[in-house]
Amino acid sequence: MDFDTRLAEAWVRALAEAVGKEHERLTELDSAIGDGDHGSNLRRGFAAVLAVLDDPDTPAPTGPGAVLTRTGSTLISKVGGASGPLYGKAFRAIGAALAAPAGAPADGPADVAALGEALAAGLRAVRELGRAEEGDKTIVDAWTPALAAYREAVAGGAGLPGATAAAAAGAERGALATVPLQARKGRASYLGPRSIGHQDPGATSTALLFRALAEATRA
């Protein structure tokens, strides 16, 4: 099984559904250490992404890279706050990594290793824009262990379902591990030590992102 247009769309749709179900929890987490808009930010963003995917006047995507680039661009244009640009750039970077080489008409399916490289490009994009290190209590703290678990699974011979399931578990571990951290980036950092003892909303939504990918690619 390779990561093709159908799976890319299935990922984005599963993530939109998860955000729709979990937005209250995300907003609650953001109310504790931020401004209480993380769930509504992402819900608005992914509703717009679904509208683009379902728009009969938008030309069909040329491949999985195009689906994810389009997702990222929509998030950037529709979501304010820190998370819109961060997730937007991440999806655009994933899309660019999967995109067709110059001159080719379409971006073909990606194998499990190529998707891993694309997910690494997504993390690089988050880090370049947000300048967060591991341990700063952000998206980076879920994405980093997710990627490490994905790569370890691939090295052990896993295919897409196994590697994405490992990544989802890694992201969930990473999100839980933000609880004792003091935030050093974003609004939560204004709280200083009072940010300790709460799970980071962005790391939590990153866990949803990887869980959705695992659901989409489940054999």
Q: Which of 5, 8, 23, 30 lies at the binding interface for ligand ADP (CB under 6 A)?
A: 30
Question: Which two structure tokens, joined as six digits, stand for 22?
Answer: 């979990």
The answer to the question of residue 37 lying near Mg ion (CB under 5 A) is: yes
Long-range residue pairs from 68-74, CB within 8 A, at least 24 positions apart, any chain: 68/8, 68/12, 68/92, 68/94, 68/95, 68/98, 69/95, 69/96, 69/99, 70/95, 71/12, 71/95, 74/45, 74/48, 74/49
- 34 binding Mg ion? (CB under 5 A): yes
Instruction: Work out how close the CB of 118 gets to ligand ADP at its nearest, in angstroms, rounded to a whole number.
Output: 19
Give the Cα separation of 18 and 111 in Å (integer): 25
3-state secondary structure of 158: coil
Check residue 45 for interaction with ligand ADP (CB under 6 A).
no
* Shortest distance, position 12 Cβ to Mg ion, whole Å: 22
Only segment of 2-10, 38-46, 132-140, 146-154 that touches Mg ion (CB under 5 A):
38-46
Show contacts with ligand ADP in window 107-136 (CB under 6 A): 126, 130-132
Q: Is 184 in the site for ligand ADP (CB under 6 A)?
A: no
Residue 35 binds Mg ion (CB under 5 A): yes
Q: Minimum Å distance from CB 140 to ligand ADP?
A: 5
**Residue number, 8 or 86, with CB nearest to ligand ADP:** 86
For tokens 């992402």, what's the residue?
Answer: 42
- Interface residue list for Mg ion (CB under 5 A): 30, 34-35, 37-38
